[in-house]
Amino acid sequence: MELSRSAQFAIRTVVDLASAGHVHTADVARRRGIPPAQGAKIIRRLARAGLVRTTRGAGGGVRLARPAEAITLREVIDAIEGPLAISRCAVYDDCPCVQPCPVRAALARVQHELERLLAGITVADLAAGSRGPARPTRAPAA
């Protein structure tokens, strides 16, 4: 399972807005290495989700709709990807297996933990760099 590039760009966008305030979409895209057309699409999706506010015109731009402390990583990802699901049966209750299914129960626990972790990380945390290294370290090969 991997986040789409759009979701990764959306995360970069809200982190940029947490520190930049009210700015032009093109400036965010340039600073964060996001193709401008894709940056505009991402801003529209974040605006539809109520995470950013946009204004048109000479003094226009984009800004966070709420304080960075009140926007979670889960909200940003959901705005772009829709709700994350580790497996259909763990989330949508359509498991074809005979119940009780130990795999479904295990995946439901993983799903719950993933949701909890993503909801526990705010845009402010990401902007402050308080959640550890930007890139995960790989475990040594056995």
Q: Has residue 137 been placed in a domain?
A: no
Q: Has residue 46 been placed in a domain?
A: yes
Average pLDDT, the chain: 85
Q: What is the mean pLDDT of residues 47-70?
A: 92
Contacts of 81 (CB under 8 A, 6+ apart): 3, 4, 6, 7
Q: For position 43, which CATH number holds? A: 1.10.10.10
Q: Has residue 132 been placed in a domain?
A: no
DSSP 8-state secondary structure symbol assigned to residue 70: G
Separation between Cα atoms, residue 111 and residue 105, nearest integer Å: 10
Separation between Cα atoms, residue 5 and residue 78, nearest integer Å: 14
Q: Has residue 135 been placed in a domain?
A: no
Residue 35 pLDDT:
92
- Residue among 130, 10, 5 nearest 78 (CA): 10
Domain count, the chain: 1
Separation between Cα atoms, residue 104 and residue 110, nearest integer Å: 10
Q: Look up residue 64 and give its amino acid.
A: L
Number of H helices, E strands in the chain: 7, 2
The residue with tokens 């093109």 is 26
Q: pLDDT digits over 76-114, tens only?
A: 999 999 888 888 776 776 677 766 777 888 888 898 999
Residue 98 pLDDT:
67
Q: Has residue 59 been placed in a domain?
A: yes
Separation between Cα atoms, residue 32 and residue 54, nearest integer Å: 18
Q: Has residue 100 been placed in a domain?
A: yes
Domain that holds residue 31: 5-125
Q: Has residue 68 been placed in a domain?
A: yes
Q: Has residue 16 been placed in a domain?
A: yes
Q: What is the mean pLDDT of residues 33-60?
A: 92
